Amino acid sequence: MTLAAPAQGAYRESRAASLLVVLPALNEAESVARVVAEVLSRQPLADLLVVDDGSTDRTAEVARAAGARVMSLPFNLGVGGAMRAAYRFAYDEGYECVVQVDADGQHDPADIARLHCALDEADIVVGARFAGLGDYAVRGPRRWAMCLLAATLSRLVGTPLTDPTSGFRMVNRRALSLYAFDFPEEYLGDTVEALVLASRANLRITQVPVAMRERTAGTPSQNAFRSSAYLLRVVTAVVLAIARRAPIMRPGSTVEVA
């Protein structure tokens, strides 16, 4: 795993920011520069880290040229693995909060400020797509699975959640101290199981409504088969989350990033 600075002069050598914006990215060379520019415009005082999750295109090079710091993983680990690496980095670097933003342009960086405000009353804030803003919709088996999952997770964590699979979320230092060492990496684990894990660690969870945008490049990886299989994966993720051992909150550690 390598961690490199962006183009000369684009990144502050001495970190002054308390917020780290993380973009996990896999083959997003067509969109990542636009997203990086928008994030830096909306959050000029934050630091920005793109986690290149084993891309085979120019994602890392494009992101670095756009002004982001880039962590390059040697092979594809999935969003969970990419975020676990980012959380560990953020924890060791002393950031107070971390927000995850998609590199495909679907999340509006303008909403980062709203998530940050909600962090005053919670340890984890989820940007919810199905909470009254925007016209984003899913149908068929995938929608049924999401409704079932929302109802189940709301009961498990003790707070209303309409979009527990949203990847647009912010955590504070308390949640970061958990996720840096104990973050699920498997499919849906980074969203579903991560919330159950946080609840079992007595972390406070809330959501704020956000509007999902269209992808700026590429195509969604959904089809009839994937949508049907989603329901089974959701059930599996919930079962694993419930069966998972209780988390351990660690006071501190270090990690080597070459």
The pTM of this model reads 0.83
How far apart, in whole angstroms, are the C-alpha atoms of residue 76 and residue 92?
Answer: 23
> pLDDT 10s digit of each residue in the chain, 258 long?
777 766 644 444 445 579 999 999 999 999 999 999 999 999 999 999 999 999 999 999 999 999 999 999 999 999 999 999 999 999 999 999 999 999 999 999 999 999 999 999 999 999 998 644 555 565 556 676 778 888 888 998 999 999 988 999 999 999 999 999 999 888 778 998 899 999 999 999 999 999 888 766 655 544 445 555 666 776 677 677 677 666 666 654 433 332
How far apart, in whole angstroms, are the C-alpha atoms of residue 174 and residue 198?
Answer: 10
**What is the separation, in whole angstroms, between the first and last Cα of the chain?**
6
State the alpha helices, DSSP H only, in 127-191.
140-157, 173-179
φ, ψ for residue 59, nearest 5 deg: -55, -50
How far apart, in whole angstroms, are the C-alpha atoms of residue 67 and residue 70?
Answer: 9
| 2-243 to CATH, choices 3.40.50.1220, 3.90.550.10, 3.40.50.170, 3.40.50.300 | 3.90.550.10
